[in-house]
């Protein structure tokens, strides 16, 4: 009967909640174990109704609908697998395969505990798998739009899986310009220059820029363009992200209309020119080559010891951090880059990013304070696509909200 | 055709053979024998026409795009392969399918606005409050296993025109034929590109005479004949007949080269013919009354 929806599947009958992993604006994520002979572990993402304590059905948010639809549709070894979706008691539960690690956690381990760079071979494997997952998404007309280290999962077996499709969208012939849908996408540090400059017709190339940023971060262990976000003002006008653009120019130099012909058509072109002239007079622009050399030195990557991304790595990074989205490498082109294809069998990317490296990464932290998936409450707000992954911010947030 | 269709949940989980589909429906009816015999309903295609009309009524003031209406029609059809219609309030399902389809097709409508429109259109039997639509949305998504992405023939038709361009009037006619196919089971039986090819074939063969969107059975029958025997094409004897014959010859060559499944196209054509044949029996009032009878009888409107 439609009078009174009752779920045929019940979360607590199928899963035993082990603990709480993290929370976001959408709701929270729990670690769980299967019941009834199912011994695998899972991550369950619970979406709360928009208003806390809502006793009536208010309609599911469009972003949750998108995520549910995409999660059930996509199947790829390098995209996190959705086991099932349960709709129960006005809440939505998306059940994912469990991944012990994510790239943010791994980077964090290398900066805080081991204080050593990530092995060049491991980075190659991570990037290879990440690009394969992205190629799959793009072939299926899906833009991720929020790639960042915290959203790239890594299993115990060293498989890399793209997670969190909360901002992902189909890009085949959208009914509205993609710009009108969500005004702000992608965490600012990983945001492509065309988005910072106000492009209305952006493309899957935004994901490749983010991959470039992640590649750089794996090598240097810190975000390559760590800008500060200019917040939306009271009139909800999206401001020019001056500081973020400046960080990019400091590493890559000014974009030019010779290399990026459509640059002058960008909404924020005037702002960029103003920024450029200030920066030129203070002599604060360099090239990616300088960044690369410094990083290779600081993190002791050396070809002599067989631990280096090599010149091919530098060239690939250059191709991913290409200003002009039309010239930027696609996922397919990136996978055919000599960084992956040149060299002998020993240089080929591995399907296990841990390979023979014996590092015991710490397991994902799970809090015991909130084990009741059905009653726990968290202020539910609509997701705005604002950044929530500062390196220090995460554990602190856990304590505060956990 | 985008590569994504072949791996899609639409192809894997929501495309059936005719016997499979008949079997699913028989099982559903068998489990509700009393209800089914107590409340007879019109032909499924006529019911579909009624739903399509209600969707139009709801969507028009909100300027909902055709593709969202089409997606809603598929959601309704899928839902009723899982749930016996006489256990539901169809107008609530119609409103909810549209609400959900608008979100999936990136033209969202506020639940309050949609609910108000539903109330205005169906003061007695429609959903009374937005929360009812919100609740029905859970049921709809759960029954569809959250598989909400729909591949439509519209996109295929645009792609196919790179190898066989249609004139403006042919294109309009083909578009209307695609709109009509949602009244049949074809979306559960065939791939969207086959529907698109069928619509293109019919549009080329039938082209000039039709000004209304309703294609008549006799003409379609001629079209079918034309496929096997181009010389007998309609219009071949009328003014400009020779041109039409050349055009149809081109079409047949294109079809042969496209290595499309001709048998499937013939099947699609037949489904459409029988739709146009049954269409004349459509009577909105009869459909409404028959639906209202079980809704009221079972108190489903509350």
User: Model confidence over B199-233: pLDDT tens digits?
Assistant: 999 998 876 554 444 555 555 656 666 565 545 44
Q: Are B7 and B125 in a shared domain?
A: yes
Question: Kind and range of the H or E element at A102?
Answer: strand A101-102
Q: If we measure between CA atoms, which residue out of A92, A131, A74, A196 comes closest to residue A341?
A: A131
Neighbours of A306 (CB within 10 A): 11
Co-location of B293 and B231 in the same domain: no
Is 70 exceeded by the pLDDT of residue B49?
yes
Q: Which residues of B are less than 8 Å from A1 in CB distance? A: 87, 300
Q: Select, from the ranges A19-28, A370-379, B102-111, B202-211, the one with the highest average predicted confidence (pLDDT).
A: B102-111
To the nearest 10°, the Cα dihedral for A317, A385, A137, A124?
Answer: 30
Cross-chain Cβ contact B138/A87 below 8 Å: yes
Q: Domain A101-347, what fold?
A: Transferase(Phosphotransferase); domain 1 (1.10.510)
Confidence band of B86 (pLDDT split at 50, 70, 90): very high
Please check whether residues B27 and B112 belong to one and the same domain.
yes
Closest approach of B196 to chain A, Cα-based (Å): 17
Percent of chain B with pLDDT over 90: 70
pLDDT for B273 equals: 87
Asked if the model's pLDDT at residue A382 lies above 50, the reply is: no
User: CB of A32 within 8 A of CB of A381?
Assistant: no
Q: What pLDDT is stored for residue A51 in this prediction?
A: 62
Q: Is A242 left (phi over 0), alpha (psi -120 to 50) or beta?
A: alpha
Identify whether residues B86 and B99 lie together within a single domain.
yes
Q: Report pLDDT for B241.
A: 63
What sign results for the dihedral spanned by CA atoms A67, A70, A71, A77? negative
Q: What are phi and psi of A190, to 5 degrees?
A: -110, 10
User: Structural domain of residue B96, as residue ranges?
Assistant: 3-150+283-297
Q: Is residue B69 part of a domain?
A: yes
pLDDT at A159: 96
> What is the structure's pLDDT at A263?
94
What pLDDT sits at residue B235? Answer: 47
CB A166 within 8 A of CB A146: yes
Q: Does any domain span residue B205?
A: yes
Q: 């653009």: which residue's tokens?
A: A245
How does strand A15-23 pair with strand A27-34?
Answer: antiparallel
Q: In this structure, are B146 and B9 located in the same domain?
A: yes
Does B45 or A184 have the greater pLDDT score? B45
Locate the DSSP E strands across A114-216: 142-143, 152-154, 160-162, 169-170
User: Distance between CA A202 and CA A194 in Å, rounded?
Assistant: 7
Same domain, B211 and B293: no
Nearest to A157 by CA among A268, A225, A77: A77
Q: pLDDT at residue A177 above 80?
A: no
| CB within 8 Å of B103: residues ≥ 6 apart | A60, A62, A65, A66
Instruction: Give me the mean pLDDT over the A306-322 stretch.
Output: 94
For B99, residues 6+ apart whose C-beta sits below 8 A from its C-beta are: A59, B109, B111, B114, B133, B137
**Is the per-residue pLDDT at A49 higher than 80?**
no
Query: Same structural domain for residues B139 and B288?
Result: yes
- Yes or no, beta carbons of B100 and A65 under 8 Å apart: yes
pLDDT at A299: 93
**Contact (Cβ atoms closer than 8 angstroms) between residue A143 and residue A169:** yes
Higher pLDDT, B260 or A304: B260
Q: How far apart are CA B107 and CA A177, in angstroms?
A: 11
Mean pLDDT over A88-98 rounds to: 93
CA angle at residue A105 from A102 to A106, to 5 degrees?
A: 85
Q: Fill in the DSSP letter of residue A263.
A: G
Residues of A assigned a catalytic role: 146
Q: How far apart are CA A317 and CA A217, in angstroms?
A: 11
Residue B295: what are its φ and ψ, rounded to 5°? -65, -45
Q: Is residue B101 part of a domain?
A: yes
Tell me what the mean pLDDT of segment A235-262 comes to: 90
Q: How confident is the model at residue A348 (pLDDT cuts 50, 70, 90)?
A: confident
Least confident of A252-261, A309-318, B218-227: B218-227
pLDDT at B111 over 90: yes
Distances (CA, A) of A337 to A127, A301, A316, A348: 12, 20, 7, 12
- Whether B155 sits inside 8 A of A172 (CB atoms) is yes
**Which residues, at least 6 apart from A200, have a Cβ–Cβ distance to it below 8 Å?**
A177, A178, A179, A267
Domain residue extents for chain A = 101-347
Neighbours of B258 (CB within 10 A): 14
Is A55 part of the contact surface with chain B (CB cutoff 8 Å)? no
**Is residue A395 pLDDT above 60, yes or no?**
no
pLDDT digits (tens, 9 = 90+) for B267-276: 999 999 899 8
Q: State ipTM.
A: 0.88
Q: What is the pLDDT of residue B58?
A: 96
The two tokens of residue A343 are: 């060299």
Q: What pLDDT shows up at residue A50?
A: 60
Distance CA B139, CA B195 (A): 29
pLDDT at A383: 36
Residue at B18 is within a domain: yes
Is pLDDT above 50 for B146?
A: yes
CATH number at residue B95: 1.10.472.10
Inspect the interface and report whether the beta carbons of A69 and B146 lie closer than 8 Å: yes
Is A205 buried (19+), middle (13-18) or exposed (0-12) by CB count in 10 A? buried
Report how far residue A34's alpha carbon sits from residue A42's, in angstroms, rounded to the nearest whole number.
7
| Strand ranges for chain B from DSSP E | none
DSSP state of A49: P
> What average pLDDT score do residues A164-169 get?
81
- The whole-angstrom separation of Cα A285 and Cα A295 is 17
Asked which of A243-247, A354-358, A371-375, B253-257 is least confident by mean pLDDT, the reply is A371-375
Write the residue in B7, B111, B145 that is nearest to A59 by C-beta: B111
Per-residue pLDDT band at A6 (split at 50, 70, 90):
confident
Mean pLDDT, range B52-58, rounded to an integer? 96
The closest of B266, B240, B179, B257 to B215, measured between CA atoms, is B179
pLDDT of residue B128: 86
Per-residue pLDDT at A2: 46
Instruction: Answer whether residue B302 is part of any domain.
Output: no
DSSP structure class, residue A307: B
Q: B196 and B228 in one domain?
A: yes
Q: What is the DSSP string of B20-86?
A: HHHHHHHHHHHTTHHHHHHS----HHHHHHHHHHHHHHHHTTTT--HHHHHHHHHHHHHHHHHS-GG
Across the interface, whether the CB atoms of A65 and B148 are under 8 A apart is answered yes
Q: What is the mean pLDDT of residues B60-67?
A: 94
User: B96 and B176, same structural domain?
Assistant: no
Which chain B residues are closer than 8 Å to A56 by Cβ?
131, 134
Say if residue A171's pLDDT is above 90.
Answer: no
* pLDDT-above-70 percentage for chain B: 87
Task: Tell me the angle at which helices A310-320 and A205-220 cross, rounded to the nearest 10 degrees.
Answer: 140
Q: Which residues contact B255 (CB under 8 A, 6 or more apart)?
A: B197, B201, B262, B265
Mutate one of B13, B106, B300 to test the A interface: name it (highest A CB count within 10 A).
B106
- pLDDT surpassing 80 at residue A332: yes
Band the pLDDT of A380: cuts 50, 70, 90: very low
What's the whole-number average pLDDT of chain B?
Answer: 88
What's the confidence (pLDDT) of residue A1?
A: 43
pLDDT at A389: 29
Residues B197 and B119 in one domain: no
Is residue A390 predicted with pLDDT exceeding 90?
no
Total structural domains within chain B: 2
Shared domain for B220 and B233, answered yes or no, is: yes
Q: Give the pLDDT mean for A104-110.
A: 95
Q: Are residues B77 and B34 in the same domain?
A: yes
Residue B89, domain member (yes or no)? yes
CA closest to A2 among chain B residues: B88
């Amino acid at each position: 009967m439609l009078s009174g929806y009752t779920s045929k599947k019940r979360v607590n009958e199928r899963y035993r909640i082990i603990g709480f992993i993290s929370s976001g604006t959408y709701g929270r994520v729990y670690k769980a174990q299967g019941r009834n002979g199912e011994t695998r572990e899972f991550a369950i993402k619970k979406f709360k109704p928009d208003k806390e304590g809502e006793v009536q059905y208010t309609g599911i948010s469009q972003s949750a609908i998108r995520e549910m639809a995409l999660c059930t549709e996509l199947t790829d070894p390098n995209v996190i697998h959705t086991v099932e979706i349960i709709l129960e008691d006005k809440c939505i539960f998306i059940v994912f395969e469990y991944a012990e690690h994510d790239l943010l956690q791994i980077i964090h381990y290398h900066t805080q505990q081991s204080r050593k760079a990530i092995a060049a071979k491991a980075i190659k494997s991570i990037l290879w798998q990440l690009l394969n997952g992205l190629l799959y998404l793009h072939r299926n007309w899906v833009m991720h739009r929020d790639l960042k280290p915290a959203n790239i999962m890594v299993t115990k077996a060293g498989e890399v899986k793209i997670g969190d499709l909360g901002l992902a969208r189909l890009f085949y012939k959208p009914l509205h310009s993609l710009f009108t849908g969500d005004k702000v996408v992608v965490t600012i540090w990983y945001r492509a220059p065309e988005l910072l400059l106000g492009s209305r017709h952006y493309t899957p190339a935004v994901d490749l820029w983010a991959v470039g940023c992640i590649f750089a971060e794996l090598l240097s262990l810190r975000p390559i363009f760590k800008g500060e976000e200019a917040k939306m003002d009271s009139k909800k006008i999206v401001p020019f992200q001056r500081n973020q653009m400046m960080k990019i120019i400091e590493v890559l130099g000014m974009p030019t209309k010779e290399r990026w012909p459509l640059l002058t058509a960008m909404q924020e072109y005037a702002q960029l020119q103003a920024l450029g002239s200030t920066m030129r007079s203070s002599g604060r622009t360099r090239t990616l080559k300088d960044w690369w050399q410094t990083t290779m030195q600081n993190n002791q990557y050396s070809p002599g010891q067989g631990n280096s991304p090599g010149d091919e790595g530098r060239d690939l990074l250059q191709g991913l951090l290409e200003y002009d989205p039309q010239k930027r490498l696609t996922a397919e082109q990136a996978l055919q880059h000599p960084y992956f294809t040149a060299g002998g069998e020993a240089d080929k990317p591995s399907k296990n990013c841990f390979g023979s490296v014996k590092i015991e990464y710490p397991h994902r932290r799970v809090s015991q304070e909130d084990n009741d998936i059905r009653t726990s409450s968290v202020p539910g707000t609509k997701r705005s696509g604002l950044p929530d992954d500062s390196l220090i911010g995460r554990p602190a947030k856990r304590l505060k909200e956990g | 055709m985008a590569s994504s269709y072949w791996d899609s949940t639409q192809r894997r989980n929501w495309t059936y053979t005719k016997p499979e589909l008949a079997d699913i429906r028989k099982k559903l009816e068998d489990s509700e024998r009393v209800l089914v015999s107590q409340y007879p309903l019109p032909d499924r295609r006529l019911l579909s026409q009624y739903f399509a009309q209600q969707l139009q009524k709801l969507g028009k003031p909100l300027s909902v795009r055709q593709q969202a209406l089409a997606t809603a029609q598929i959601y309704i059809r899928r839902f009723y392969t899982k749930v016996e219609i006489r256990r539901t309030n169809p107008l609530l399902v119609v409103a909810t399918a549209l609400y959900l389809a608008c979100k999936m097709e990136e033209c969202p409508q506020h639940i309050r606005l949609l609910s108000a429109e539903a109330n205005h259109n169906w003061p007695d039997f429609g959903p009374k409050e937005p929360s009812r639509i919100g609740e029905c949305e859970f049921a709809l998504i759960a029954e569809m296993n959250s598989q909400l992405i729909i591949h439509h023939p519209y996109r295929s038709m645009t792609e196919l025109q790179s190898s066989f361009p249609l004139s403006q009037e042919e294109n309009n006619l083909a578009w209307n034929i695609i709109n009509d196919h949602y009244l049949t089971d074809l979306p559960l039986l065939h791939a969207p590109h086959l529907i698109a090819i069928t619509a293109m074939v019919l549009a080329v063969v039938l082209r000039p005479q039709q000004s209304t969107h309703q294609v008549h059975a006799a003409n379609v029958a001629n079209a079918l004949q034309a496929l096997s025997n181009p010389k007998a094409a309609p219009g071949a004897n009328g003014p400009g007949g020779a041109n039409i014959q050349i055009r149809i010859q081109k079409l047949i060559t294109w079809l042969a080269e496209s290595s499309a499944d001709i048998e499937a196209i013939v099947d699609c054509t037949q489904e459409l013919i029988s739709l146009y044949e049954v269409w004349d029996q459509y009577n909105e009032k009869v459909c409404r009354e028959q639906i209202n009878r079980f809704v009221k009888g079972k108190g489903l409107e509350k």
